[in-house]
Amino acid sequence: MIGDFLASAYPWTKSLHIMSVITWMAGLFYLPRLYVYHTERVQAGTDTDDLFQTMEFKLLRVIMAPASIATWIFGLALVFTPGIVDWAAVWPYTKGASVIVMTWFHHWLVKRRKNFVAGDNTLTGKQYRMMNEVPTILMLIIVFSVVVKF
């Protein structure tokens, strides 16, 4: 019965999943870049520091958090839709592992924001630039896994 519902809702679920992923990824690409500029160009305790902290907070809590939750909900709905996932193939596992690492990265960004709030940021702009590549690499793995189905 639930399988029938998921199968009939598949186009809607897939559409909502894609929109959620796009929104989440936009934040995952942009927030580390904000951290680069926050680290390199903003002095703690200034009005600009407050502005950056507000932008980072809103990006994380208003955009990224709901998008990540929606991505997981619609993604799991797709996983449980009959006939969508070939568990004998490798791709569901590479995608799943990459999504878990993406979620870890999201939480890593949350911890870095807490460091900025506490005035304890110890990372450099260069380190944030390097970490900014993580979601790109994961996106490549996820898209190739799902589309090419290796």
User: For the chain (length 150 residues), average pLDDT per consecutive 10?
Assistant: 91 98 98 97 94 98 98 97 95 97 98 95 97 97 94
- Give Cβ neighbours of residue 124 (< 8 Å, ≥ 6 apart): 39
CA distance 120 to 99: 29
N-to-C CA span, the chain: 31
pLDDT computed for residue 150 by the predictor:
80
For residue 134, the model assigns a pLDDT of: 97
b/e for 107-129, b at 16 or more Cβ within 10 A?
eebeebbeebeeeebebeeeebe
Give the pLDDT of residue 127.
97
Q: How far apart are CA 131 and CA 89, in angstroms?
A: 30
Residue at token pair 């589309």: 147
